[in-house]
Chain A
Amino acid sequence: MSSLTQSELQQLQDTARCIRGHIVRTISHAGVGHPGGSLSATDILTTLYFHVMNVDPKNPNMPERDRFVLSKGHGAVGLYSTLAERGFFPAEQLKSFGCIDSILQVHPDMHLLPGVEISTGALGQGISVAVGLALAGKLDKAPWRVYCVVGDGESQEGQVWEAAESAAQFGLDNLTVILDNNGVQLMGKTDEVMRMEPQVDKWRAFNWNVIDVDGHDIAALAAAFDLAQTVKGKPTVLVARTVKGKGVSFMEGKSAWHGKSPDAEQLAQALQELGCEA
Chain B
Amino acid sequence: MVDSPREAFGKTLVELAREDARIVALDADLASSTRMVYFAEEFPERFFQLGIAEQNMVGVAAGMALAGKIPFAGSFAVFTSRRAADQVAISVAHAGLNVKLVGAYPGIVSGNNGATHQAMEDIAIMRGIPHMVVLDPADDIEMAGAVRAAVAYNGPVYLRSTRDAWPRVCPEDYKFEIGKALRVRDGKDLTLIGCGMMTSQCALAADLLAKEGISARVVNMATLKPIDMNAIVSAARETGAIVTAENHNIYGGLGGAVAEVLVEHAPVPMKRIGILDCYGECGRNPDLLAKYKMSVADIVAAAKEVLQRKK
Query: Residues on A close to B: CB < 8 A?
Result: 110-111, 117-119, 121-122, 124-125, 127-137, 139-140, 142, 158-159, 162-163, 165-166, 169-170
Contact = CB atoms under 8 A, between A and B. Distances in A.
A170 B96 CA distance: 26
| Chain B CB within 10 Å, residue with most, of A118, A127, A129 | A129
Given A133-B63, A165-B53, A125 B86 contact: yes
Contact of B87 (A128, A169, A170): A128
B66 interface: yes
Contact of A133 (B53, B67, B86): B67
A132 B56 CA distance: 9
Interface string B39-78: 0000001101011010110111111111111010000000
A46 to B, nearest CB: 25
Contacts of B96: 111
Interface string B200-241: 000000000000000000000000000000000000000000
Interface in B162-202: none
Given A110-B95, A122-B90, A135-B48, A166 B56 contact: yes
18 contacts: A121-B90, A122-B91, A125-B86, A125-B87, A127-B59, A129-B59, A132-B59, A132-B61, A132-B63, A136-B63, A136-B68, A139-B46, A162-B53, A162-B55, A162-B56, A166-B51, A166-B53, A166-B60
B107 to A, nearest CB: 27
Nearest to A148: B63
Given A125-B90, A159-B55, A159-B87, A119 B95 contact: yes
Interface of B: 24, 45-46, 48, 50-51, 53, 55-56, 58-69, 71, 86-87, 90-91, 94-96
Interface of B is mostly: helix
Contacts of B94: 119
A166 B48 CA distance: 10
B87 A132 contact: no
Contacts of B67: 132-133, 136-137, 140, 142
B223 to A, nearest CB: 25
Given A118-B95, A159-B55, A165-B53, A130 B63 contact: yes
Given A122-B90, A125-B87, A170-B48, A132 B53 contact: no
B59 A125 contact: yes
Contacts of A125: 59, 86-87, 90-91
Nearest to A170: B48
B56 A118 contact: no
A170 B60 CA distance: 12
Nearest to B89: A122
A127 B59 CA distance: 8
A165 B63 contact: no
B105 to A, nearest CB: 22
B45 A118 contact: no
A130 to B, nearest CB: 6
Given A121-B90, A163-B56, A163-B59, 9 more contacts: A117-B66, A118-B91, A127-B59, A131-B56, A131-B59, A132-B62, A136-B63, A136-B64, A166-B50
Given A119-B95, A125-B90, A128-B91, A135 B55 contact: no
Contacts of A169: 51
A135 B53 CA distance: 16
Contacts of B58: 128
A168 to B, nearest CB: 11
Contact of B66 (A118, A158, A162): A118
Contacts of A162: 51, 53, 55-56
Q: Which 7 A-B pairs have the closest CB atoms?
A: A132-B63, A128-B59, A136-B67, A162-B56, A132-B60, A162-B53, A129-B63
A159 B56 contact: yes
Given A135-B48, A170-B48, A129 B66 contact: yes
A248 to B, nearest CB: 31
Contacts of A136: 24, 63-64, 66-69
A221 B66 CA distance: 28
Contact of A129 (B46, B48, B60): B60
B45 A139 contact: yes
Contacts of A127: 59
| Chain A CB within 10 Å, residue with most, of B48, B59, B61, B86 | B59
A161 B79 CA distance: 18
A119 to B, nearest CB: 6
B60 to A, nearest CB: 4
A133 B58 CA distance: 12
A137 B60 CA distance: 12
Nearest to B96: A111
Contacts of A121: 90
B56 A139 contact: no
Contact of B24 (A118, A137, A139, A166): A139
A132 B55 contact: no
Contact of A131 (B60, B65, B95): B60
A128 B95 contact: no
Nearest to A69: B63
Given A122-B90, A139-B24, A134 B95 contact: no
Contacts of B68: 136
A141 to B, nearest CB: 12
